[in-house]
Homo-oligomer: A and B are copies of this chain.
Amino acid sequence: MARTAYHHGDLQQQVHDQALAVVREHGDSAISLRALAKQIGVSAPALYRHFADRESLLAELAISGFEALRQRLLQVKHTPPRQALIGIGLAYVRFAQDEPNLYRLMFGGQVLPRGVHPRLDDAGKAAFQVLEDTVERARHSGYLKPMPLALMTATAWSLVHGLSQLTIDGHLPNADAEPHLAEGITSLLLEGAIADTNRATDNNEDSP
């Protein structure tokens, strides 16, 4: 029932893929169910067999986005705390820069308020979890000050999210002239978060 081809093969997947391509190229405001259906060669109401409404489709795409983000973050090595933290921050920002339209859909807020679509919320939390785990490891290893975990992760997330959003929307004019901005920012934050025992011992360890 779910695997074999009905009239058109699995429309659900086809719509999902096509819509994802449109979002990545032109943003979520360019998504039109009718246009999507016409492109695929199916009538518009057919889509309603697979998606409750336009918002649900967008939510599904946002879920894909969070899963892709999570995969990116998971690829960051666990090696020394400082590299791991900077690495995951860079990976996060780079994802946003690579997929600005998708990222905007994920965090647009206007699209879907939290609590409406549980699977979307879970996908977001799962991505955030990777970041939190990295911070927790660094903290547990004694590299970071023994501050509340929630405070540290919230700080880290705020920083990378804010930087992502500001850069992809062009609010930071000299972002191109300063390619190491993300790294500098992350380092700057770390200065305040590392334990005093680690101070001055690892500032230049990434450039041997």
Contact = CB atoms under 8 A, between A and B. Distances in A.
Interface of A: 27-29, 100, 104, 107-110, 113-115, 124, 128, 147, 150-152, 154-155, 157-166, 168-172, 174, 178, 181, 184-185, 188-193
A-side binding surface: helix, strand, loop or mixed? helix
In order of increasing CB-CB distance, the 3 nearest A-B pairs are: A162-B162, A191-B192, A192-B192
Nearest to A180: B151
Contacts of A150: 174, 178
A66 to B, nearest CB: 11
B192 A190 contact: yes
A128 B157 CA distance: 21
Contacts of A192: 188-193
Given A170-B113, A171-B128, A157 B151 contact: no
A163 B162 contact: yes
Contact of A109 (B104, B154, B174): B104
Contacts of A166: 154, 157-158, 161
Contacts of A188: 147, 151-152, 155, 189, 192-193
Which of A152, A165, A188 has the largest number of chain B CB atoms within 10 A?
A188
Contact of A114 (B114, B170, B184): B170
